[in-house]
Structure 1
Amino acid sequence: MEYFTQQILFLKEKAMLQASVREEKKLLVENAKLKKDIDDLKNLLQDTQKRKAVKLRQERALSASIASTSAQLGEPAPSTHTAPSATQTHAHTHHDGRRRRERRGVSCESVCVLSREQKLDVSRLDLRVARILDVRKHPDSESLYVQEVDLGEHAPRTVVSGLTNHVPPEQLLGSLVVLLCNVRSVKVRGVQSQARLLCAVNQERMEPLTPPTGAQPGDRVTFQLYPGEPEKELNPKQRLWERLLPDLRIDARGVATYRGVAFEVRGKGLCRAPNITSGNIK
């Protein structure tokens, strides 16, 4: 009986030990899970704090811009302390109200301008179809063409491009191309260039983008996911064209794209590179 009693006690201790080990393993698993949850929450909290910090900086910059604009529009207070007449009071009230409305209008305009500046996408470019009417060599450069182009405006524009080593003049003459029209007019080796000719380029060749069949001079090139009206004239100091350039690509089908969205003449088709696939745009 004593032997059996010892065996029973031994089995009880063994069962308790096994239960303790199982419980310990369970606690370790739960502890690891809790630790992972805590790490995930910490990462989420850090991301949220970063987003809030960025938003706060943007709001402060916006507030500073509005305050600066309001300060520039403010007028000095009157230096006299004579009590105004009823007519003067009414006139001052009227003018003060008008000034406040003007300031609010200018502040709203400043907010819109700042919001527009933060919205950096291809809709701010004025891209249009043009027909090349004349091509000649630049008088002071062997690598440049001077082209007269029809944009459907009252007079042709002059465009300077570096295509002499890539495309013969007879191939350009009469062809449809895509122009960036809201760049500031600049002199290129003494010749005024009034637009930029968009070309597809890879390591071997460069060629102008080709609008769809049926496109006419003056047709605008648009992007389905990026609606909006273009800038009247791009500010060279903002370097908008240079900042957008890395997202302008020729895809594997030869279609000109911005962030994967095709250059399109609405209702007429897509703009393409005739012989280049998987290239860049310049």
Structure 2
Amino acid sequence: MDTSNIFHPSLAATIMKLDPEDGEQIMEYLQTQALLTREKALLQASVREQKKLLVENGKLKKDIEQLRVQLQEKQRRRVAKTLFSSAPPTPSQGPAPPTPATPTGASVPSSSSSHEQRARQGRRRRGERKAPATCDALALRVEPRVDVSRLDLRVGRILSARSHPLVESMSIQEVDVGENAPRRVVSKLGEKTQLEELQDGLAVLLCNVKACKLRGVVSQARLLCCSTSDDCIELLAPPTGSVPGDRVTFLNYPGDSDRELQSKQKVWELLQPDLRVDNRGVANYKGCGFEVKGKGLCRAPSLTNCTIK
């Protein structure tokens, strides 16, 4: 083996002089180790270059997204500008055109026809003033999404449960949802529900509903239940290992929840028909499971093929 391309000739000669029998094998071993060291250095440099390219790729993606948003905004402005500029001028934008003189021998219109003409012109002017604003509003309006990502669903621990003082079919729960203070929830859980069995149990709560009074008691959240009838009701159960404050999310519906659901938009009413428990007992929205990341799926304790409310 030729070792002169890696080691100095004097080093090879020295090794051969010290150990004539095994000198060649020693040189081969040293050359192999040198080649391995060189390949390792090249590999490490390649990994560093790959990481650098990944970082640069992430920055480019971010820049492209920002440019896309800016382009969409410019297109909206261009559409609005075009709509405004294409609208015919209103009477306030310039003097009225001169009335042409009546040719000799032409008949003079009657007072009734002049009145109808002025009325038509007035209606046309009113339409011209309203048209730009209406078209502009339609061009720039963005419809809000209506999917389950708008719901703020969290795991809560029921600290106490008692009957409502005024309504026999209702109950009041104090629930820890990972905040500084527990939330009070007014629920209708059915006559068969044993309130003492709920204490210290985990449940799933809708936390961004607007607080409201139910028979004199303020309710600050909504307990999610599954039911087949008014008498057969179960609280939705989070996966084992969940703790108060854990978020319930949906893999196919990313996004931030609303700060507070507006009653006028009726988001809950629109989504609730698609919230169901399947034949395996798993809670889902349009086939996508209620998930606590890293811990599992929310389920009904015993019911299947039923609604969530």
TM-score by length of 2: 0.54
Deviation (angstroms), 1:148 = 0.3
Q: 1:242 aligns with which of 269, 280, 287?
A: 269
* 2:27 matched residue in structure 1: none
Q: Which amino acid aligns with 1:191?
A: V
The alignment-based identity, stated in percent, is 56
* 1:124 matched residue in structure 2: 150
* 1:264 matched residue in structure 2: 291
Matches within 5 A, 1:1-282: 114-115=142-143, 117=144, 119-203=145-229, 205-282=232-309
Instruction: Determine if contact 1:166/1:207 at 8 Å carries over to the other structure.
Output: no
TM-score by length of 1: 0.59
Instruction: Determine if contact 1:248/1:280 at 8 Å carries over to the other structure.
Output: yes
Distance 2:142 2:205 in 1: 27
Deviation (angstroms), 1:128 = 0.3
* 1:31 matched residue in structure 2: none
Q: Which amino acid aligns with 1:265?
A: V
Instruction: Determine if contact 1:145/1:164 at 8 Å carries over to the other structure.
Output: no
Runs of 4+ in 1 over 6 A off after TM superposition: none
Deviation (angstroms), 1:164 = 4.4
Q: Which amino acid aligns with 1:124?
A: R
Gaps of 5+ in 1: 1-61, 68-106
Figure out how many residues of one structure are paired with residues of the other and give that number. Answer: 176
Q: Which amino acid aligns with 1:280?
A: T
Instruction: Determine if contact 2:190/2:232 at 8 Å carries over to the other structure.
Output: no
Deviation (angstroms), 1:170 = 1.7
Deviation (angstroms), 1:166 = 3.1
Distance 2:169 2:281 in 1: 26
Quote the RMSD (CA, aligned, Å): 2.3
Q: Which amino acid aligns with 1:220?
A: R
Distance 1:277 1:164 in 2: 18
SS at match of 1:243: helix
Distance 2:226 2:192 in 1: 11
SS at match of 2:240: coil
Instruction: Determine if contact 2:148/2:271 at 8 Å carries over to the other structure.
Output: yes
Deviation (angstroms), 1:114 = 2.9
Distance 1:132 1:165 in 2: 18
Distance 1:210 1:114 in 2: 36
Distance 1:275 1:144 in 2: 23
Instruction: Determine if contact 1:257/1:263 at 8 Å carries over to the other structure.
Output: yes
Instruction: Determine if contact 2:190/2:233 at 8 Å carries over to the other structure.
Output: no
Distance 1:172 1:166 in 2: 12
Distance 1:189 1:164 in 2: 17
SS at match of 1:246: helix
